[in-house]
Every structure is written in C-alpha cells, then in structure tokens.
DNA sequence: TCGTATGTTGACATCGATGTCGGCTTCGAT
DNA sequence: ATCGAAGCCGACATCGATGTCAACATACGA
C-alpha cells in the first residue's frame, strides 16, 4: 500500500511511477556571455536571430558560440518563452507501414526546422485515453500535433487539442473538414484513375473491395470507383461490392464471395494493398491465375506491393511528403497564429505493375 | 536573416472563430498549494511521493490535485531537477516494419513509466550526423537512448553517447558487446531451430541466403545454420551459400544462382522474411512450386510473412517485447546508477506455415 | 542646434517546478 | 521533566533561458 494520489489510473500524473533520470551538465548561455564579454541577453538575441545587435558583436558572439559548441537548453527555452520544440505525432497504430513512412517524412522535416517529433499512441480502447492525452499535452507542451487517419476524424479528439490551444494538422482527414489545416491527396480522383486503367484494359465486370468504414478514405475511394464506372456507363451489381476492413485477412476472406459464387469478375479493385494481396493469395490458392484470369489492383503502394508476385498495380501515396508537409504546416500555424485552414493536396501516382493485364475472354 | 513574426497582436485572440474560446491557462503548483492551504513544496512532495508529509495533509492535497486536474509541467521539472522525461529511439531507417514494432513496444512501456519517446533518425550518409546527434542530445536532455541494429554497433556512435553521459540500451547489438546493457534474442539458436525444422522434413540439400554484412545478426544466423548442418553431418557446398542484403530485391536476385545453375536445392533458408519472399517470388516466376518443389523459410515473422502465398515458415522475433524491455532497462539502468551491463534475452518462436513441406524426391 | 525616432545593450523579473536548509513539532528514552 | 532524534513543513534560492523595460547611443529631420 504505497501512497498514490488522485486519478484511479494515475500512471502519468507525474505521481509515483515516474522514474528519475539524471542528466548531463551543459554549457550555459552565461558561460558564452562571459567569454564573449556581453550580456546573456545579447547572446540570446544572436542565437535567435533577433534584430538589434551590431554586426560586429553578432559575429563575435556567433564565433564564441561555435567555439564553445554551445547548445541552448530547450527546456529552459520552453519554460520561459512558451515556445515549443516538440511536435506530437499521434497514431492509432504506429506499427503500420503507412504510419512509418509518414513518420520518416515528419522526422526529417522536423529536423530541418529545429523541432523534434514525439510519437504518441492513442488507444481508444482504453477508457482513460482522454486523461492520457491531456497528460501529454500538459507535460510536453507540444508546439503542434499531427493526426493521421482514422483518429483524426473524431470531433471529441479535436476538441481536446483546441481546448489546450495546440495547433493541429491532419493528414487525410475525412470529417470536420474545415476545422484544421490539412494535408491530403485526392483519393477519389486516384481511385477513378485506377478504375479507368482497368476499363482501358478492357475489363467491364469489376469488383470492388471496400475498406474499413471508420477510415474516411474508404468512402472517397469508393466514390472514385463509382465515378469511373458510371462514366463508362456501367453499374456494378451489389454482389460485386464487398466489404473489407483494410487488413490482409479481410481481403482473403471476401474472395469467397467474389470467386466461389456463380460468375467471377475479371478484375478486382481493393481499396488498399493489403486487401489486394489478400485477394491475390485467395485467387492463387483457388488456382485462379493472376493477372491472366483476374486482374487485381490495390491502393497505397505499400512496401508489400512490390513483394508480391505478380507485383501489384496500385496508387502511390505521397506518404513521405505528407509527413513532411504536415510538420511544415503545423509550424507555420504556430508562428502565424492560425489564420485560415490551408489544405495542401499532394500528387499521387498510378503505378502499373504485373497484377493487371488486358481482359481476356474465358 | 529574416524578421520573426512578433507576438504583438494577440495570436490567440479570436482569429479562429467569432466565439472566443477561453484559453486554458495552465494550472501551476502554486494554485494547488493555495487551494490546499499548504506550501508549493508540500504539494511537490505529495506529487513525487516523497516522505515527510502527514497522511491527512497528503490525502487532502491529493484530493485537490485530482479535483483541479493538475499536471506538473515537465519542462520546469526537467529544468529544476535535472531529471529527464524523454527517451530517444534512434533508427537508421525508421520506416522499416522491424523498427515500427519495436517502436510500438517502446511507446507503450514509456507511457507506463511516465516517459515519452522521441524518434530520431541517424543518417550516416550526411556528413554532419555527429553535429545533429549532439544537437539532439543537448537540446532534448535525453534521459536515455535506445539504439537498434545496425547503427548500434558503431563504436564512434557509442562514444558520443558516452561523452554526453546519456545511458544507452541497445537492441540486438553485434559488436562492442560489453559496452552497454542490451536486449536481444538468440539468433544463432533460432537459426539452428529453423534449420533443424527443414532437416526434420527430410531436406538435405539446403541453401542459405546470408543477410547484410553490416548487420551483426547476419553472422549469428549463419552460425546457427552451420551448427545444425554440421550436427547433421552435412557440409553445404559453397554454391549453396549466397549473399543478400536483407532486402526483397536481393532475395529475388540470388535466386538466379540458386535455381538457374545445375541442380536445385530442395530448401532455402533466407536470413530474413523479405529475402525469403524475394526467393519465393523468383521461384514462382520460374514455375518452381513452393513448397512442393522447394521449401522456403525466412526469419523475423514480419507482417509480410503472412501475406505471401504460401505463407512463410519463419522465426517470430519478439520485437514488441524488445522495445518495451529496452525502455525498461534504460530507466532502470539510471536508477541503479549503471551497475553492470545486464543483457535480457527474449524468447523467439518457430512459426510453421505453408512454405515448408516434407522433402519429395523429384 | 535641438528634439525625436530608432537602434543597441544589459539589469532584472519571470516561467514552474525542485533542492536546501532551518525552524518547529512530536516522540521516545533517560 | 529534559534532551535528542526524527518527522513535518515552508521560505528561499535555483535551474537556463527569454520578456520587459529603462538607459544610453546614434541618426535624422527641422
């Protein structure tokens, strides 16, 4: 019975489970100031590129800074100026490949801007996710937050960030569209383009595997598919539209409805690569040749798209760029004070590989 | 240098919407102290679970803390106590699936310990990687660092952390083995076990695809393979040992040496799943049936191992657990004051799937 | 030439917490 | 009853930077 305080779960309340970690002894701004023969404030001015410093002094201070290899302490900075140097990257599932590429883009851009990325997982399954999030916001004083799909569509989540005055940039959001700046690609248009690719190959009987309904991209991709089909004067029957959840397994499972009942479609468009692979594996296990007997296309250009055989025709998402742009936006936001909600739309790319081929009558 | 944007005109004042949201002013320890009728120091004591506080007071303060939903500011804490609350996770390539799972484990464990994870990429290709690293160390005041393969084997990197007194825990290092605490699995043993699996299926002519020589696991896995083979009284000829680099493409490429010259091996053990998939795809494109004509096994149990067809027999690495344990160790190491270099060895698992089958004479 | 405007500088307060230390209680042993 | 020792609590300094503001120097216009 150790004494804890407050909040039933109280794990990050700074209470007791926080272990102490000693740190190193650094060079302070005072040391630099002394050696340069000026006041600390002047050094601060030079470091932050502020005006009102004579060029000679600026230069000499800069030299001393370099010589002493001085690095300002970000904590002290954050404390006194309420400026931040951390950007939070929030994921539902940080282990997915999708997330990883975004992450890399974000890290690199953050670095370029002198910021750092803190990764946080939000798990709605835990009933205390709000407390945990608020904990992070308070403790880390985030300068901004980047949210990815699907969590970025929850109004209650956005509320929390808003209440705490943390600027948010969302990547590919699907709801509450005018609430924050965002970075996205045109899913609908891309889906249309892939579908047109299949149509151009001569396919008419095309099945569509929908994604997880909680991701907003699901609807947009479906729309793009529908656009292309109806533009071609086609109306796919209901049994050609099946429901997946973006995971490999679901692609594998829906294949039963697609391949084991009556006539087979000549092509399948799965809303993401994982599901496309699931469909492909299911086809092969039924001795249905890909792409000879059935063409399969995906969406995302995940790493695995190139590791399948045949390799997957798909849409390349600009994940890396989206991560970088998101950081960029969030910092701008921080500086500008939130004028408007810019939306950057990044270009996608149709990647044609071996899994799609001209329609051949059976 | 450009002028910075002043904070003159209220940046949080009604820019966003007509209705002004009250800006949440953070609650300080003073507020709590006042309301509880004690000194800030006493509140601090309660929060940190220090001794010398009367139970009644402790309880009443705790109640106020909970009521006010107070959260200590980590920056201020870090400043005054030179305690840290950030653990750095350093990757060469944060976008790989391997890294992602470790990451998730680390994030969760860090959370549980009241710490946060900062992700940093180290790119040796950039000539200024040292400066960048030192920047991070100074700016972030890391309480600890976790390094993954392959960068964790560079002595010069370790030197930097040592110079800056940042405790390091390495995941699956292969060199400088007694320099830091580490978390690992027994690669050699695991490789032996997979090989024995193939031997038990009746295979005798087994090829081995080596991994990237800069990863130390490459050598250990090779050793395990050699152990099992020689225990079975077998000596694979040199042409059965081929060199890859852990990437899909290399697995695909080495297949030429394996399948297009003279006799074919009846089984292939690739040092990781990606390469195994490469081999598998190459086999299928040559109309060599897997596993009927050739069994293929991998190593890692990457996500893709389940997405191939047939699914890959492989070794499941405890990545998630390794991430969590690494965080655990890095923090413990501090508390303990760096006594010794503990090494935690986590259990692996042989996962038998469809890509390996009993030997069948052709 | 003087009087403003503008530019340059540093002293000092401040951010929000913790470390130190001294004073006051309490308790137990003599 | 008295004397330590230990327990409890708060005043104050401190961490390392930046914000504020006043003092002073210089430039420019009239």
SS (H, E, C) chain B: CCCCCCCCCCCCCCCCCCCCCCCCCCCCHHHHHHHHCCCHHHHHHHHCCCCCCCHHHHHHHHHHHHHHCCCCCHHHHHHHHCECCEEEEEECCCCCHHHHHHHHHHHHHHHHCCCEEEEEECCCCCCCHHHHHHHHHHHHCCCEEEECCCHHHCHHHHHHHHHCCCCEEEECCCCCCCCCCEEEECHHHHHHHHHHHHHHCCCCCEEEEECCCCCCHHHHHHHHHHHHHHHCCCCCCHHHEEECCCCHHHHHHHHHHHHCCCCCCCEEEECCHHHHHHHHHHHHHCCCCCCCCCEEECCECCHHHHCCCCCCEEEECCHHHHHHHHHHHHHHHHHHCCCCCCEEEECCEEECCCCCCCCCCC
Q: List chain C nucleotides near protein: any atom < 7 Å from a Cβ.
A: 7-12, 14-20
Question: Looking at the C1' of nucleotide D15, which residue has the nearest alpha carbon?
Answer: B80
Cβ partners under 8 Å of residue A102, min gap 6: A89, A148, A171, A319, A320, A322, A323, A326
Q: How far is CA B85 from CA A130, A203, B75, B77, in A?
A: 20, 57, 9, 9
The answer to which of A22-26, A315-319, B288-292 has the lowest mean pLDDT is A22-26
Instruction: Say if CB B216 and CB B149 are below 8 A apart.
Output: yes
Quick one: pLDDT at residue A40?
Answer: 95
Please state, as a whole number, how many other Cβ atoms lie within 10 Å of the Cβ of residue A160.
17
The answer to which of A182-186, A276-280, B8-12 has the lowest mean pLDDT is B8-12
Which among A15-19, B17-21, B39-43 has the top mean pLDDT? B39-43
Which among A144-153, A209-218, A234-243, B97-106 has the top mean pLDDT? A234-243
CA distance, residue B95 to nearest chain A CA (Å):
5
Quick one: pLDDT at residue A193?
Answer: 98
Quick one: pLDDT at residue B18?
Answer: 21
Question: Looking at the C1' of nucleotide C26, which residue has the nearest alpha carbon?
Answer: B54
Nearest CA in chain A to B281: A309
Does residue B312 have a pLDDT over 90?
A: yes
State whether B94 and A71 contact (CB < 8 Å): no
Confidence class of residue B5 from pLDDT cuts 50, 70 and 90?
very low
Instruction: Say if CB A61 and CB A36 are below 8 A apart.
Output: yes
State whether B119 and A120 contact (CB < 8 Å): no
> Tell me: the pLDDT tens digits for B147-157?
987 788 899 99
Least CB–CB distance from A306: residue in B61, B79, B248: B248
State whether B26 and A135 contact (CB < 8 Å): no
State whether B100 and A104 contact (CB < 8 Å): no
Quick one: pLDDT at residue B249?
Answer: 87
CA distance B350 to A335: 52
Q: What is the DSSP string of A83-107?
A: ---EEEEEES-TTSHHHHHHHHHHH
Residue A63: which H helix or E strand, with range? helix A55-68
The answer to which of B12-21, B234-243, B332-341 has the lowest mean pLDDT is B12-21
> Tell me, in Å, how far CA of B42 is from C1' of D20?
32
State whether B116 and A117 contact (CB < 8 Å): no
Residue B174 — φ and ψ, nearest 5°?
-130, -5
pLDDT (average), residues A263-268: 96
pLDDT (average), residues B188-196: 98
Nearest CA in chain A to B21: A163
State whether B117 and A116 contact (CB < 8 Å): no
Nearest CA in chain A to B143: A21
Question: Looking at the C1' of nucleotide D6, which residue has the nearest alpha carbon?
Answer: B52
> With pLDDT > 70 as the criterion, what percentage of chain B qualifies?
90
Which among A77-91, B209-223, B328-342 has the top mean pLDDT? B209-223
CA-wise closest residue to A147 among A171, A124, A117: A171
Does residue A245 have a pLDDT over 90?
A: yes
Quick one: pLDDT at residue B271?
Answer: 97
Quick one: pLDDT at residue A24?
Answer: 46
Does residue A13 have a pLDDT over 80?
A: no
Cis peptide before A150 (omega within 30 of 0): yes
> Tell me: the pLDDT tens digits for A294-323?
999 999 998 889 888 889 999 999 989 999
CA distance B50 to B42: 9
Nucleotide whose C1' lies closest to the alpha carbon of residue B73: C16
pTM of the model: 0.80
State whether B69 and A134 contact (CB < 8 Å): yes
Quick one: pLDDT at residue B97?
Answer: 66
Q: List chain D nucleotides near protein: any atom < 7 Å from a Cβ.
A: 7-12, 14-20
Domains of chain A by range and CATH?
Answer: 27-62 (1.10.260.40), 83-184+318-347 (3.40.50.2300), 187-316 (3.40.50.2300)
Quick one: pLDDT at residue A174?
Answer: 80
CA distance B240 to A354: 30
Confidence class of residue B111 from pLDDT cuts 50, 70 and 90?
confident
pLDDT (average), residues B205-234: 95
Chain mean pLDDT for chain A: 86
Quick one: pLDDT at residue B14?
Answer: 27
Chain mean pLDDT for chain B: 86
Quick one: pLDDT at residue A114?
Answer: 82
Confidence class of residue B362 from pLDDT cuts 50, 70 and 90?
low
CA distance B142 to B158: 15
Residues paired with residue B170 on neighbouring β-strands, in sequence order? B147, B182
Q: How far is CA B199 from CA B171, B191, B209, B362, in A?
A: 30, 12, 17, 17
Higher pLDDT, B229 or B144: B229
Cis peptide before A40 (omega within 30 of 0): no
Higher pLDDT, B4 or A28: A28
Quick one: pLDDT at residue A337?
Answer: 60
Does residue A17 have a pLDDT over 70?
A: no
Does residue A102 have a pLDDT over 60?
A: yes
Does residue B338 have a pLDDT over 60?
A: no
Quick one: pLDDT at residue A7?
Answer: 29
CA distance B172 to B156: 18
Quick one: pLDDT at residue B187?
Answer: 95
Residue A248: which H helix or E strand, with range? helix A248-259
Nearest CA in chain A to B135: A71
pLDDT (average), residues B274-302: 92
Does residue A355 have a pLDDT over 60?
A: yes
CA distance, residue B231 to nearest chain A CA (Å):
34
Least CB–CB distance from A24: residue in B93, B166, B248: B166
CA distance B219 to B187: 9
> Tell me: the pLDDT tens digits for A138-196?
778 888 899 987 788 899 999 998 888 888 999 988 888 889 999 999 999 999 999 99
Confidence class of residue B6 from pLDDT cuts 50, 70 and 90?
very low
> Tell me, in Å, how far CA of B50 is from C1' of D8?
12
State whether A118 and B117 contact (CB < 8 Å): yes
Nearest CA in chain B to A48: B4
Q: Which residues of B touch A7 (CB under 8 A)?
A: 66
Per-residue flag: A332 CB under 7 A of strand D = no
Residue A343: which H helix or E strand, with range? strand A343-346
Does residue B350 have a pLDDT over 60?
A: yes
Does residue B223 have a pLDDT over 70?
A: yes
Confidence class of residue A97 from pLDDT cuts 50, 70 and 90?
low
């Amino acid at each position: 019975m150790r004494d804890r305080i407050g909040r039933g779960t109280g794990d990050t309340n700074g209470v007791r489970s926080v272990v102490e970690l000693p740190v190193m002894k650094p060079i302070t701004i005072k040391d630099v100031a002394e050696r340069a023969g000026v006041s600390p404030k002047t050094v601060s001015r030079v470091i932050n590129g502020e005006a009102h410093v004579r060029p000679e002094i600026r230069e000499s201070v800069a030299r001393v800074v370099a010589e002493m290899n001085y690095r300002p302490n970000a904590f002290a900075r954050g404390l006194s100026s309420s400026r931040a140097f951390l950007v939070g990257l929030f994921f539902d599932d940080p282990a997915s490949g999708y997330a990883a590429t975004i992450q890399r883009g974000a890290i690199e851009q953050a670095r370029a801007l002198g910021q750092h990325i803190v990764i946080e997982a939000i798990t709605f399954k835990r009933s205390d996710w709000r407390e945990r999030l608020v904990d992070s916001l308070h403790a880390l004083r985030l300068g901004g937050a980047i949210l990815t799909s699907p969590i970025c569509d929850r109004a209650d989540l956005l509320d929390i960030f808003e209440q705490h005055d943390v600027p948010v940039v969302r990547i590919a959001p699907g709801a509450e569209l005018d609430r924050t700046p965002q970075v996205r690609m045109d899913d609908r248009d891309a889906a249309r383009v892939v579908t047109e690719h299949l149509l151009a190959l001569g396919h008419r009987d095309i099945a569509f595997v929908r994604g997880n309904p909680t991701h907003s991209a699901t609807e947009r991709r479906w729309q793009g598919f529908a656009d292309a089909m109806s533009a071609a004067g086609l109306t796919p029957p209901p049994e050609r539209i099946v429901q997946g959840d973006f995971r490999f397994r679901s692609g594998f499972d829906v294949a039963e409805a697609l391949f084991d009942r009556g006539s087979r479609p000549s092509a399948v468009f799965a809303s993401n690569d994982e599901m496309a692979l699931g469909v492909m594996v299911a086809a092969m296990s039924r001795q249905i040749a890909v792409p000879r007997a059935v063409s399969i296309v995906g969406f995302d250009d995940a790493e695995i798209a190139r590791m399948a055989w045949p390799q997957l025709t798909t849409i390349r998402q600009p994940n890396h760029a989206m991560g970088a742009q998101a950081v960029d936006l969030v910092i701008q936001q921080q500086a500008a004070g939130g004028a408007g909600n810019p939306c950057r739309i990044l270009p996608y790319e149709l990647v044609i590989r071996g899994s799609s081929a001209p329609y051949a009558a059976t």
